[in-house]
Structure 1
Amino acid sequence: MNSQPGTVLCFGEALIDRLGPLGGDPAVDRPVDDRLGGAPANVACGLARLGTPVAFAGRLGQDAIGEAFISLFAERGVETALLQQDAERPTRIVLVRRSRDGERQFQGFAGDQGLGFADEAIKPAALPKARWLLIGTLSLAASTSAAALLSAVRQARSQGTEIALDVNWRPTFWDPNADPGAGPSAAAKAEIQSLLDQAALIKLAREEALWFFNTDDPGAIQQALPQRPDVVVTDGAAPVRWQLGDDSGRQSAFQPPTVVDTTGAGDAFTAGLLHRWDAAPHERIRFAAACGALVCGGAGGIDPQPTQAQVETFLGGMS
């Protein structure tokens, strides 16, 4: 593929978020609500809806979920020349437990037929130069996908493509029996540190910042890394804290009219941040925070994603 100026390449997982009934267990309780998701896929779709040229590099099963993603990417205008398909492994289904206030917890998987999931088997591929390579850490949890991710990072650095890292720690991807609230092991920390040391932009949840840096201060995190990256620390409904170059600040979270589901709010924030990257630092964060808030008003991480006009209308009502 030949990327357009300003293109973002989103590398990693595309999967189903199986949302359980509020307060129930998605493994046994019904009804469940299956939503297309996965952080890199969410960001790709969010960027496309906002109007940024974007490509998705991942691997899907040759199944109904894979076909649904292909249709979704075509509808949104996401470039899929780097999308791989797997005839042996299914697209992953993640079981998402939702509390009655909309908060969620990733508790395990469904659909494995004995060979693992398609996203674990993504193979290295030649990547075009782009403005950003957006990555997470989940691909590091399996050896084949880890090799493909590290290959993508090496190519990006050699081509002058900036790396944006959303840490997105999910213990169940590393160990399906892990406590969903557990922090990273020493081995996982070491693998993820190699990405932290190379990213130009790092987005972390507050608990991730504490696990990896023993501080939630984005300025201190910036100074702790050799490349002095831009750092954004989110904290649910609490203010976002940021250090972008020499500028720093806080942005209060916006409250949507109703909260249906917080799945994908962080990914919508990331999409908004990259989409508005050329704006002043506080404007980037404010726009991103609005994107995150608007996604909480609907189910799943993709369907409720806003257009730029919707974000601007929302922000206009905040002033």
Structure 2
Amino acid sequence: MGNAVVLGEALIDLLEAEVGGEQIYRQAIGGAPLNVAVGAARLGSPVEYAGTLSTDVLGDRIAAFLAEAGVGATGVRRVDVPTTLAVTTFEGAEPAFTFYGEPPSYALLSPDDLDPRALAGADVLYTGSICLLREPFRATARQAWAGFGGVRVFDPNVRPRLLPDDAALNALRELVEEFFATADLVKLSSADAQLLYGDSDPAAAADRIRALGAGTVVVTCGARGAHVAAADGAAMLPAPAVDAIDATGAGDSVMGALVHRLLTAGRPAGLAGWQEYVRYALAVAGLVCERQGGATAMPTPSELAARWPAL
């Protein structure tokens, strides 16, 4: 089995909830890249997380959680700024995020902080998400991405509340398309596609991204499943029926599961192999949606087998 380096943000989600008729916020460790790292590690893959964590008590909790999940931390640098908070509200099971903390504790990794040996020894590199909106992280991700010789996977993870106007959206589109062009795998949601291209049609988004140069594109569509487009064709795969209570981290669990399959079985030769990987990933995401919290909801192989015996 190979190993992966996950490059991106870790933060604290404050999840809106109601207890005894009172509105409260439940603390949960999150950040899309952290969720991906934990998701792949919980499934049994060796993963190194590279990013910045605060020196405060919340940063300590994130560091301890990564260790407990079995995620390597050789790429972590501690920074003396407060941990960024993502206040999370819900419409049904779908979360919306508002971010607090300046400068963001998650985006302070510099190019000099990268471990060349860890990158050279990795088979998969993941980056993406909101950390790319800020320097020095953006320069760090570009450097790691450009010099990487393995499988490069990317998720834009667009957050509209961090895009104040059309100029910011246009700049983000240009940035993520830079990474799309050389990615072996792009995973995005239909909501991401709507924000980036004004069209939530997953097939159109996948075709557009593949035309830029991406190898395979997976567009998740919530309860409808996912569209996968490879060099030799495309298909829409249904999601398993679940009793969803919290979709936080569901898309990240898809990416974590895909990273895990890439590490255990390699890059598929064509659409048939990618369909098998995506079916597996949708089962992982279905189980995540039946549990509360993002990173804490990521399942182990035994939990997956108990929920989906035929998988």
Equivalent position of 2:141 in the other structure: 149
Which range is displaced more, 285-294 or 273-282?
273-282
The answer to whether the aligner puts 1:298 opposite 2:294 as a matched pair is no
| Structure in which a larger fraction of residues adopt strand | 2
CA gap of 1:126–1:317, structure 2 versus 1, over 3 A, is closer
Residue number in structure 1 paired with 2:14 = 18
* 1:123–1:144 CA contact under 8 A, matched in 2: yes
- Which residue matches 1:58? 51
Name the structure 2 match of 1:195: 179
How far residue 126 of structure 1 moved from its aligned partner, in angstroms, is: 2.9
- Does 2:156 align with 1:167? yes
Q: Within 2, Cα distance between the matches of 1:155 and 1:94?
A: 32
Q: Deviations over 1:158-182 (max 9, x none)?
A: xx1221001100133344xx7xxx9
Q: 2:107 aligns with which of 120, 133, 137?
A: 120
| Structure 1 segments unaligned to the other structure (5+ residues) | 23-28
Tell me how far 1:316 sits from its aligned partner: 2.5
Matched, 1:237 2:223: yes
* Deviation of 1:255 (Å): 2.5
For the residue of structure 2 that corresponds to 1:237, the secondary structure is: helix
- How far the C-alpha of 1:221 sits from its partner, in A, is 3.1
1:135 aligns with 2:127: yes
Q: Sequence identity of aligned pairs in percent?
A: 29
Counterpart for residue 99 of structure 2: 109
Q: Which residue of 2 aligns with 1:272?
A: 257
CA distance in 2, matches of 1:78, 1:7: 11
Structure-2 separation of matches of 1:183 and 1:168: 18
Q: Deviations over 1:34-77 (max 9, x none)?
A: 10000110011111110011010010110111111111111111
Letter in 2 for 1:166: D
Alignment of 1:79-98 (within 5 A): 79-87=72-80, 89-98=81-90
| CA deviation after TM superposition for structure 1 residue 140, in Å | 2.1
Residue of structure 2 equivalent to 1:254? 240
Asked if structure 2 preserves the Cα contact closer than 8 Å seen for 1:239 and 1:250, the reply is yes
Cα 1:247–1:274 shift into 2, 3 Å: farther
- Structure with the higher fraction of residues in helix conformation: 2
Aligned residue among 29, 47, 63 for 1:36: 29
Is residue 207 of structure 2 the alignment partner of residue 220 of structure 1?
yes
1:205-226 deviation per Cα after TM superposition (whole angstroms, max 9, x unaligned):
1132344455521652354123
Give yes or no for contact 1:260–1:298 (8 Å, CA) kept in 2. Answer: yes
Moved more, 124-133 or 32-41: 124-133
Distance 1:249 1:184, change over 3 A: farther
Q: Which residue identity does 2:248 align to in structure 1?
A: T
- Once residues 183 and 96 of structure 1 are traced to their aligned partners in structure 2, the CA distance between those partners, rounded to angstroms, is 25
Contact kept, 8 Å, 1:136 with 1:167, in 2: the verdict is yes
Pair 262,183 (structure 1): closer, same or farther in 2 beyond 3 Å? farther
Q: CA deviation at 1:312?
A: 3.0
Tell me if structure 2 keeps the 8 A contact 1:59–1:85. yes
Partner Cα distance (2:216, 2:160) in 1: 25
Number of residue pairs matched by the alignment: 293
Q: Which 5+ residue runs of structure 2 have no aligned equivalent?
A: none
The answer to whether the Cα contact below 8 Å between 1:60 and 1:84 also exists between their aligned partners in 2 is: yes
Cα distance in 1 between the residues matched to 2:247 and 2:89: 11
Displacement after TM superposition at 1:296 (Å): 1.1
Which amino acid in 1 is paired with 2:157?
N
| Mapped contact 2:15–2:26 kept (Cα < 8 A) | yes
Superposition CA RMSD, Å: 2.3
How far apart, CA to CA, are the structure 2 residues paired with 1:222 and 1:136? Answer: 15
How far residue 241 of structure 1 moved from its aligned partner, in angstroms, is: 0.7
Which amino acid in structure 2 is aligned with residue 7 of structure 1? Answer: N
**How far 1:78 moved relative to its partner?**
0.7
TM-score by length of 1: 0.84
